[in-house]
Amino acid sequence: MLEAAELECERGARMLFRGVSFVLLAGELLRVAGANGSGKTSLLRILCGLAWPSAGEVRWKGQPIDGLREDYARELVYIGHAPAVKDDLTPRENLEISCRLAGQSTGMEALAAALERLGVPELPVRKLSQGQRRRAALARLLVSETPLWLLDEPFAALDAEGISILNGLMGKQVDRGGAVVYTTHQDAGVRNTRVLDLGAGA
Amino acid sequence: MLAVARTLVHRDLLLALRRRSDVATALLFFVIVASLFPLGIGAEPNLLRAIAPGVIWVAALLSSMLSLGRLFAADYADGTLEQMLLGAAPLGVVVTAKGLAHWLVSGLPLVAIAPLIALQYDLAPGLYGVLALSLLLGTPVLSLIGAIGAALTLGLRGGGVLLALLVLPLYVPVLILGAGSVEMAAAGLEPDGQLLLLGALLVLAAAFSPWATAAALRITME
């Protein structure tokens, strides 16, 4: 499904990584590992099309993602470092808006159920803790039907219960033929994960 | 695509409603700036009447610029802008919707309140209509042009001042035509020409600004 060919990333004059290639098949998990500053986030941003590699190409089902734009965006969920929830809205409003922006029309009950499953209270996000914000953002995954998930540090700020819920979600995604790429410093013990190590960083 | 645009406009209006102080600041700024001139110049009715269109328009320009910084900055900071770039709709649609929402909360109130300001300048009541109409046509252009600047200066240190330097010169045609139309009407001439040109500017800005803003956003978000 997702293919990276000889990706190279430069930030300023610094070479972050070079010659990163992999093929991700349906039903596969890929963990991007590496030290701080080794370019894990940059790689993920390149994979979802937010940033461009200085050389190389990302292909989705054989086609370069540059030409696909929205068609590719519709196939993926990207959850970045920032939780992408608005402080002044409630988790349900946030979830509803992000689903609609992604062109997904999920029913209200499903949204409410997803948030309930993650135990996120229906308060303005401003009043939630870091972990609860994270959960509010991850609720996207519960209602998502897209084949590709790109998750940047999804386990950050989560407690043990949150981690096990997320592990379950990623397992389910893989079981139904989806693919997941995620970054993390520590091995969170997700089963059957392939590892792509970016090394110690520059 | 339209559903995405509607969602975004709705979202931004809802956010403005939850953060009413932000909207009120720009509006109060407009009122105060426009009210400083009569205080500074003194009670000179003829002079005030003559400078009214220009002063009101300049105040509208500054107030519109004041709120531009918020157009993308908050979404940039909390990561929702990234999600918009990865949304189901083309980025041009997204920025048009955001520009529209920005105008609804920062431009439209100016149109409504301008006649009240004009009262301070003893502008002839017959001119209120032209003033409001020129603002109605001109303020969306300000939001559209400003969006390009806001996208370019996103995430820069001291971006606010840079934004002013970048955007204010581009506002000049709108200022000349907007204030000119009211002055024409005050001189007893038909302001149609200026208003039509303002309308043409609006069409031009609506056609090109979303495209330029989207390109600028892609660059700054990288």
Order the strands of the A14-24 sheet from edge to edge: A14-24, A2-11, A55-60, A63-64
Q: What is the pLDDT of residue A106?
A: 82
pLDDT at A201 over 60: no
Structure tokens at B80: 């929702």
Banded model confidence at residue A202, pLDDT cuts 50, 70, 90: very low
Structure tokens at A143: 């209602």
Q: How far is A179 from chain B, CA to nearest CA, in Å?
A: 18
Query: Which residues in chain A are closer than 8 Å to B89, comparing Cβ atoms?
Result: 70, 101, 103
Backbone angles phi and psi of A82, in degrees to 5: -75, 140
Query: Which residues in chain A are closer than 8 Å to B5, comparing Cβ atoms?
Result: none
Q: Rounded to two decimals, what is the model's pTM?
A: 0.90
Q: Write down how long chain B is.
A: 222
On whether the CB atoms of residues A130 and A155 are closer than 8 A, the answer is no
- Mutation choice for A interface testing from B83, B211, B218, B221 by most A CBs within 10 A: B83
Q: Which of the pair, A202 or A39, is modelled with greater confidence?
A: A39
Query: Which of B8, B89, B221 has its CB closest to that of A70?
Result: B89
Mutual angle of helices B108-120 and B91-106, in 10-degree steps: 30
Total Cβ atoms within 10 A of residue B222: 11
Q: Per CB distance under 8 Å, which residues of A are interface residues toward B?
A: 48-52, 69-70, 73-74, 76, 78, 80-89, 93, 97-98, 100-105, 124
Q: What is the pLDDT of residue A12?
A: 80
Query: Which residues in chain A are closer than 8 Å to B77, comparing Cβ atoms?
Result: 82
The rounded Cα A199 to chain-centroid distance in angstroms is: 21
On whether the CB atoms of residues A85 and A137 are closer than 8 A, the answer is yes
Residues forming beta bridges with residue A175, ordered by sequence position:
none
Size of interface A-B (CB pairs under 8 A): 81
Q: What is the pLDDT of residue B29?
A: 94
Banded model confidence at residue A179, pLDDT cuts 50, 70, 90: very high
Order the strands of the A193-197 sheet from edge to edge: A76-79, A148-152, A179-183, A29-33, A193-197
From the list A123, A142, A149, the residue with the least C-alpha distance to A28 is A149
Query: Which residues in chain A are closer than 8 Å to B7, comparing Cβ atoms?
Result: 97, 100-101
Helix, strand and coil in chain A, % to nearest 5: 35, 25, 40
Note whether B78 contacts A70, CB cutoff 8 Å.
no
SS (H, E, C) chain B: CHHHHHHHHHHHHHHHHHCHHHHHHHHHHHHHHHHHHHHHHCCCHHHHHHHHHHHHHHHHHHHHHHHHCHHHHHHHHCCHHHHHHCCCCCHHHHHHHHHHHHHHHHCHHHHHHHHHHHHHCCCCHHHHHHHHHHHHHHHHHHHHHHHHHHHHCCCCCCHHHHHHHHHHHHHHHHHHHHHHHHHHHHCCCCCHHHHHHHHHHHHHHHHHHHHHHHHHHHHHCC
Amino acid at A62: G
Task: Give the three-class secondary structure for A73.
Answer: helix
Per-residue pLDDT reduced to its tens digit, A36-81: 888 888 999 999 989 889 899 999 998 998 888 888 988 899 998 8
- Residue in chain A nearest B91 by alpha carbon: A70
- Stretches where chain B sits below pLDDT 50 are none
Banded model confidence at residue A190, pLDDT cuts 50, 70, 90: low
